[in-house]
Structure 1
Amino acid sequence: MSENLKVGIESGIATLTLNRPESMNALNHALFRELEIAIADLGKRDDVACVILCGEGKAFSSGHDLRDIESGGETEHSQYEATVLEALASLSVPTIAQVHKYCFTGALELALACDLIFVDEATVLADTHSQWGLSPVWGMTQRLPRRVGAARAKDMMFSARRVGAEEALRIGLVDRVFATGELASQTRDYALAVAKNSRHSHQVCKSIIEATDGLRLHEGLDYEYTNSPGACSDMQARVAVFTSKS
């Protein structure tokens, strides 16, 4: 059986690599099935503090495999891919989409399910659903507007135009732009820095931000006051290490 997804774990960093380079990592059911299994495994581990999602070869991903769409594909249920992306978004550790060259439609929905999106300067991103007579079912209408605002999301959806790296950074679609050739090393350095911080703090911050998205400020503040532990379980150990060096 071909390995559509490569999984590596080192120094607290899990790297998930889309591995269909012959098709620009086009997303099909087989890849999603492997992604689902990998995400479920990561959710059970305590040796992973950050996840990087990237693509093998010339591009991150060209999007949903059109041959899969045409054939109807094999799927457990109509919302299968969306549930896999939601599982990715629900991981308690920080997740980073490391995107290079192409990130179109389904691939953009995949990247948007991550906490952060890092790209290189040659990257182009687009939502081409309307070009193919498709409507989003993997979360585009919800996650893209939350990233860039409703008007900019509509612009991308209606025009199906390609958005370059610098514009993507300006409108908030991506979080970092690196020089071509430096994306992988810069992303890993960032992930290693994240992994040194408290996983417990990250988990609390992610859960509160997700739970309060869309609430009014006073409602969100009330939720934080009620649900944040303040001092996480590893706080005393971290403070002890700091004071021992003073």
Structure 2
Amino acid sequence: MTAPLTLTIENAIATITYNRPEKLNAMTPEMAQLMWDAVHRINASDEARAVILTGTGKAFCAGSDISDLDRYATPWDFRNRPEYCDALRALLKPSVAAINGYAMGGGLEMALSCDIRIASDKALLAAPEIKLGWIGGGGMTALLAHSIGPSNAAMMVMTGDPVDAAKALQWGLVSEVTAPGALLERAHAIAATIASRAPIAAETARLNLQAAYNMPLEKAVAYERDLQAICFATADAAEGRAAFAQKRAPVFKRR
């Protein structure tokens, strides 16, 4: 049986692929556990320096499999389930969402939990939970409001209607739109560029961006300066300075 979620690590890039195309890559509790397992493996790996998330077939991910939601005995059990979006936010390495098709509900939340989002021009993105009687619970409202502003976030969350790739680009929900056949190539190019940079600095930049959302400006600048000092003390920073002086490419070792 084909695994519904796969992880590969090659050339410093980890690729998580949702692989349940017959169900539009809808997530099950078992897939959520596989996501946590993949994140733990990536975080522990010095080889993996950047992460790509994508899906097979015509969907990135359609969110949680609705047919699985009745398995929870109580709403409290549902509230405390292993959350696949939490897994993504636990990643230490920079991440790129390659949105190849439908990104709905929890699928959109997973894309929003990535650092960079690019989309196929066939992609559709939506927060459709309101059509079924609830709202998103994996960070939908906060992440959308940060990404596209409160009015556009309200439009998506309160109507549940999808936006196409062109609108997503206009709103800043994604950074780039490509032809479907070029999407993974472009995602790998972005991830390869990130993977070529000093790994500790890249991971620190991710941490700093996340913190900046939650801090007043003065505290955010002070925190950034602290993180800069930590990076400056690494062997990779010394290597970067030496390579610059010697006019050669640096060799970073995540040290």
TM score, norm. by length of structure 1: 0.92
Of 231, 243, 246, which aligns to 1:244? 246
Please state how far the C-alpha of 1:11 moved relative to its aligned partner.
0.4
Pairing of 1:88-237 with structure 2 (within 5 A): 88-229=88-229, 231=232, 233=234, 234-237=236-239
Per-residue deviation, residues 122-171 of structure 1 (Å, max 9, x unmatched): 11100001101112221112211111111111110111111010110111
1:8–1:226 distance in 2 versus 1, CA, 3 Å = closer
Q: Is the 8 A contact 1:92 1:202 kept in 2?
A: no
The code of the aligned residue for 2:92 comes to: S
Please state how far the C-alpha of 1:100 moved relative to its aligned partner.
1.2
1:110–1:31 distance in 2 versus 1, CA, 3 Å = same
Secondary structure of 1:181's counterpart equals helix
1:166–1:232 distance in 2 versus 1, CA, 3 Å = farther
Write the distance in 2 (CA, Å) between the matches of 1:228 and 1:77.
40
Could you say which residue in structure 1 is the equivalent of 2:26? 26
Is 1:62 the counterpart of 2:51? The answer is no
Could you say which residue in structure 1 is the equivalent of 2:46? 46
Write the distance in 2 (CA, Å) between the matches of 1:39 and 1:76.
23
Secondary structure of 1:14's counterpart equals strand
Write the distance in 1 (CA, Å) between the matches of 2:88 and 2:110.
9
Secondary structure of 2:135's counterpart equals coil
Write the distance in 1 (CA, Å) between the matches of 2:221 and 2:244.
30
Per-residue deviation, residues 179-235 of structure 1 (Å, max 9, x unmatched): 121101111111111111111111221222222323222221122233431525102
1:73–1:41 distance in 2 versus 1, CA, 3 Å = farther
Could you say which residue in structure 2 is the equivalent of 1:80? 81
Unaligned runs of 5+ in 1: none
Could you say which residue in structure 2 is the equivalent of 1:35? 35
Q: Is the 8 A contact 2:52 2:97 kept in 1?
A: yes
Q: Is the 8 A contact 2:35 2:87 kept in 1?
A: no
Write the distance in 1 (CA, Å) between the matches of 2:36 and 2:53.
13
State the number of aligned residues: 245
1:48–1:11 distance in 2 versus 1, CA, 3 Å = same
Identity over aligned pairs, percent: 29
Secondary structure of 1:157's counterpart equals helix
Secondary structure of 2:177's counterpart equals strand
Q: Is the 8 A contact 1:201 1:232 kept in 2?
A: no
Secondary structure of 2:221's counterpart equals helix
The code of the aligned residue for 2:160 comes to: A
Q: Is the 8 A contact 2:39 2:90 kept in 1?
A: no
1:73–1:193 distance in 2 versus 1, CA, 3 Å = farther
TM score, norm. by length of structure 2: 0.89
Please state how far the C-alpha of 1:77 moved relative to its aligned partner.
6.2
Please state how far the C-alpha of 1:25 moved relative to its aligned partner.
0.6
